[in-house]
């Protein structure tokens, strides 16, 4: 028994918690009220790294942070309803004025995502509010955040 525990301790010291993490190139988040929900779901049908947020559990950003825990991702895709300067999740709107409320969840993303976050929207970063949202999101997450349709 002592040998098994020592071997486990040696394994953990060599590999740390990364030994228990999953690595993937893409992780897809689809909010339950996302624009073009059926298109997003059909595009990733059968994909193993698709996560759906819902209004039953805690807030969407907290759900995303929990889903990303112990996952190493190159690109995080987010399908959510948007308007210029706002990400509108099922549980809350993420706008420049509310970002500080979610700073903990957003800053946690940098430990899981290595390259960028893509918000699937054509208008979220348009206008003054959109540019401000993008800048503030990048500062909080430490990641490149882009929008694409």
Indicate the domain borders of the chain.
21-148
Taking residue 95's Cβ as centre, other Cβ atoms within 10 Å add up to 16
The Cα 111–Cα 14 span in angstroms is 19
pLDDT at 9: 36
The whole-model pTM stands at: 0.81
pLDDT at 106: 94
Sequence-distant (≥ 6) Cβ neighbours of residue 27 within 8 angstroms:
49, 51, 67, 68, 71, 73, 75, 76, 77, 112, 113
Tens of pLDDT along the chain (149 residues) come to 434 333 333 333 333 444 445 667 999 999 999 988 888 888 888 888 999 998 877 799 999 999 999 899 999 999 999 999 999 998 899 999 999 999 999 999 999 999 999 999 999 999 999 999 999 999 999 999 999 98
pLDDT at 55: 80
The Cα 42–Cα 73 span in angstroms is 21
The Cα 20–Cα 23 span in angstroms is 10
Grouping H, G, I as helix, E, B as strand and the rest as coil, residue 59 is coil
Domain 21-148, CATH number (from 1.10.3470, 3.40.50, 3.90.930, 2.60.40): 3.40.50
pLDDT at 22: 64
pLDDT at 18: 40
pLDDT at 139: 96
């Amino acid at each position: 028994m002592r040998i098994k525990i020592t071997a486990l301790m040696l394994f953990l010291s060599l590999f740390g918690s990364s030994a228990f993490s999953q690595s993937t190139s893409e992780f897809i988040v689809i909010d339950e009220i996302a624009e073009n929900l059926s298109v997003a779901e059909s595009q990733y049908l059968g994909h193993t790294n698709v996560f759906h947020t819902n209004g039953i559990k805690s807030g969407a950003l907290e759900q995303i942070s929990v889903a990303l825990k112990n996952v190493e991702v190159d690109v995080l895709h987010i399908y959510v309803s948007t308007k210029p300067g706002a990400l509108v999740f099922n549980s809350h709107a993420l706008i420049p004025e509310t970002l500080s409320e979610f700073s903990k969840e957003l800053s946690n993303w940098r430990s899981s995502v290595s390259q960028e976050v893509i918000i699937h929207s054509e208008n979220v970063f348009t206008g003054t509010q959109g540019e401000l949202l993008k800048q503030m999101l990048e500062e909080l997450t430490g990641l490149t955040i882009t929008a694409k349709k």
